[in-house]
Amino acid sequence: MNRLDVSLLPHLLDGVDLRQLATHVPTPFYAYSANAIRGRVSELQDALQGLDYRVCYAVKANPTAAVLQLMAEQGVGADIVSVGEMQRSLRAGIPADRIVFSGVGKTADEIAAALEAGVWRFNVESVDELDMLQAVAARMGVQARASVRINPDVDAGTHEKISTGKSENKFGVAIDEAREWFASAASRPEVRLDGLHMHIGSQILSLAPFREALHCMRTFHDELVAQGHVIACIDLGGGLGVAYRPEDQPVAVADYAALIREVFAGFGGTLVLEPGRHLVAEAGVLVTRVIRIKHGLDRSFLVLDAAMNDLLRPSLYEAWHEIVPLHDEPRPRVRYDVVGPVCETGDTFARARPMPACATGDLVRIGNAGAYGASMGSTYNSRPLIAEVMLDSGRYAVVRRRQTLDEMIAGEQLPGQWHEA
C-alpha cells in the first residue's frame, strides 16, 4: 500500500470515500482494503517463489470471515490457536491440510477436534501436550503430525507483552528438551514428530533477531538430520513488523526472503511462515466520529465514539496509531488527548497528539488497525461489537454488521432455577 497516497488523501481507501461510507454505515466501524490485503499476500508469495513453502495466516490478527476468504482465495493456509479459529478457517474455505495448530494450552477436546478435522500439523509446546497428543491420537486410531516449538531465547526487540521467543516466555521448549523428544520419538508411535517450529515475537522491525533465530533452527535441524531424524517441515514464525509511526522502518520482504533462502539453502522439506499483522494491519482503518471536544485545565480532550473496547492496542501496549481527521478545509494545528467514552483513564488513543483542530461531528480515521483491532474487541461498558466493512476497488460490503443489544446479551439469563453443586 502506498503510504504517501494515504497521507495525502486520508479519506480514500481502496477507491472508497470513507466520508461517503460513513453516511451509509454508522460510526465507529472498521474498514479493510481487499486490494491492500491481496497485495501483501502476493508480495510475500512472489518473494518466496521457487521455495517449497506454505504461508499460514495467523487468524488471531483478524478472524473475520471475509478476511479469511481473501486468504483462502490466494491459497493461504491458517495458523490457529483454538478450535474456534479452526472452525472459522474451515468455513471460510481454508482446507484442513493447510492448517497448523499452535498455542500452549490446547485441551484434549481441542486436539481431538483438530485431529477429527484433519489439520495438517500441531506445533507442540510442552512434553505434557506431546503426551496428550499421543494419547488422544492413540484413542482415535490416527497418527498426528507434530513440530516441536523451539524457544530460541532470542530478544526480538519488541514490546514485552508481544515477545514470545525469550526463555522467560511461556512459549516453546529449550533445544535440550527438544533433543530428548526426538530421541524418545519411538515411544510415541501415534505422533509423527518431523517438524521444527519457532515464533520469536510480533511487530519485529529488524532482521537481526530473525537471523539469529533462523541460524539456531538450521543448526538444530542439521544436528537432527545427522542423527537420522527426518525433518519435513520448518515453521519460521516471528511477525514482520509494520510502520505504525511514520519513522518506523519495516524489514523489506525481499530481504527477509533472501535471509530464509540463504539460511535454509538445501533444506528438502516445507518452510512455513505464519504472518498475521504483516498481511492485514495496514489494510485496515477504524473510522470514528468526534462526539465532543472537552477543554480541561491544561489540555483538550477529543472524545471519539470509538473506545478501548473497539481498539485496545493503545491502552494495552501504549501502541501508537496514526489519527487523522477526514475534513478537507485547512485548520490550525492543536494538541489533543484523544480518548473514548469508556469510564477509565486508560481509554486513551493518544496523549498531546498534534493534529488539525476538529469540531463535533468530524470524522477521524485511526490507521493501521486491520490487525489486532476487531479481533481484540470486547463489549466492555456494554458497547456492542462494531461493524466491519470490506472495500474493494470503489465498492463496499458490510462483512460484519454492528452487534445488536439482543446479540450482546444473548446467553445471559437470570437464575430461575438453582442446582446443587
Q: Does 163 bind ligand LLP (CB under 6 A)?
A: no
Residue 56: CB minimum distance to ligand LLP, A:
8
Stretch that binds ligand LLP, among 107-115, 181-189, 197-205, 243-251 (CB under 6 A): 197-205
Residue 375: CB minimum distance to ligand LLP, A:
8
Q: Which is nearer to ligand LLP, 66 or 311 (CB)?
A: 311
Q: Which is nearer to ligand LLP, 28 or 241 (CB)?
A: 241
- Name 23's Cβ contacts closer than 8 Å, sequence gap at least 6: none
Q: Does 233 bind ligand LLP (CB under 6 A)?
A: no
The closest alpha carbon to 242, from 262, 263, 259, 256, belongs to 256
Q: Does 164 bind ligand LLP (CB under 6 A)?
A: yes
Q: Which is nearer to ligand LLP, 199 or 289 (CB)?
A: 199
The closest alpha carbon to 15, from 7, 3, 5, 24, belongs to 5
Task: Tell me which residues in 94-113 interact with ligand LLP (CB under 6 A).
Answer: 102
Q: Which is nearer to ligand LLP, 28 or 238 (CB)?
A: 238
The one-character DSSP state at 359 is -
Count the residues in the chain: 421
Q: Do residues 144 and 191 make contact, with C-beta atoms less than 8 angstroms apart?
A: yes
Integer Cα distance of 1 and 5 in angstroms = 9
Active site residue 343: yes
Q: What are phi and psi of 355, to 5 degrees?
A: -165, 165
Q: Which is nearer to ligand LLP, 80 or 339 (CB)?
A: 80
Match 535454509 to its residue by C-alpha cell. Answer: 264
Q: Does 125 bind ligand LLP (CB under 6 A)?
A: no
Q: Does 274 bind ligand LLP (CB under 6 A)?
A: yes
Q: Does 321 bind ligand LLP (CB under 6 A)?
A: no
Out of 199, 289, 327, 383, point to the residue binding ligand LLP (CB under 6 A): 199
Q: Does 372 bind ligand LLP (CB under 6 A)?
A: yes
CA torsion through residues 46, 286, 204, 6, sign = positive
307: amino acid identity, one letter: A
50: amino acid identity, one letter: G
Q: Does 165 bind ligand LLP (CB under 6 A)?
A: no
Selecting among 56, 216, 233, 343, the annotated active-site residue is 343
**DSSP line for 172-239:** SB-HHHHHHHHHTGGG-TTEEEEEEEEE-BSSB--HHHHHHHHHHHHHHHHHHHHTT----EEEEE-P
Residue 149: CB minimum distance to ligand LLP, A:
8
Residues that bind ligand LLP (CB under 6 A): 58, 61, 79, 102, 162, 164, 199, 202-203, 237, 239, 274-278, 313, 317, 371-372
- Residues with active-site annotation: 343
